[in-house]
């Protein structure tokens, strides 16, 4: 377990495995701007995810352009997956978490099928390096 301070949530424990985060693309600059901001190493920490991203390796980014299903999908997903209570949803009344914990590759495959069924697709760069987006 790794201890990481997550803003006002305080110090939380994170186990080995995979994590999936539901975010919105409707901020200033739109989708590309939001993804670039999240992938930057140096930034002012504002959202819960900002505290976590420099501690973990990003494997993939999935997008659902033009639709705001952040709450609907996360509310369904927390019924099936472990999650970090209160993470990433302080602005969404009724949401339990926007960060899921996927213990193993089987959970990752199941989750990938879940988001694909909702219409998500991967968001690659031209050169394949997600940090260059």
Task: Please report whether residue 132 resides in a domain.
Answer: no
Domain interval for residue 21: 2-124
Work out how many domains the chain is built from and give that number. 1
The whole-number pLDDT of residue 124 equals 65
Task: Please report whether residue 131 resides in a domain.
Answer: no
Task: Please report whether residue 23 resides in a domain.
Answer: yes
Mean pLDDT score across all residues of the chain: 87
Task: Please report whether residue 20 resides in a domain.
Answer: yes
Cβ atoms of 47 and 19 within 8 Å: the answer is no
The whole-number pLDDT of residue 75 equals 95
Task: Please report whether residue 130 resides in a domain.
Answer: no
Task: Please report whether residue 45 resides in a domain.
Answer: yes
Q: pTM for this one? A: 0.86
Task: Please report whether residue 133 resides in a domain.
Answer: no
Per-residue b/e over 68-104, b at no fewer than 16 CB within 10 Å? ebbbebbbebbeebebbebbbbeebeebbbbbbbbee
Better pLDDT: 121 or 20: 20
User: Is 28's pLDDT higher than 80?
Assistant: no
pLDDT in tens, 79-123: 999 999 999 999 899 999 999 999 999 999 999 998 999 888 888
């Amino acid at each position: 377990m790794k201890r990481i301070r997550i803003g006002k949530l305080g110090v939380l424990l994170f186990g080995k495995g995979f994590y999936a985060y539901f975010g919105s693309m409707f901020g200033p600059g739109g989708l590309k701007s939001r993804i670039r901001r999240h992938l930057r190493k140096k930034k002012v920490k504002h959202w819960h995810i900002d505290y976590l991203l420099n501690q973990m390796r990003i494997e993939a980014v999935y997008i659902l352009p033009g639709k705001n299903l952040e709450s609907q999908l996360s509310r369904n997903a927390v019924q099936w997956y472990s999650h970090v209570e209160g993470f990433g949803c302080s602005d969404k009344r009724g949401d339990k978490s926007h960060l899921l914990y996927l213990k193993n590759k089987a959970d990752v495959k199941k989750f990938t099928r879940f988001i694909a069924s909702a219409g998500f697709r991967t968001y690659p760069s031209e050169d394949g390096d997600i940090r260059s987006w």
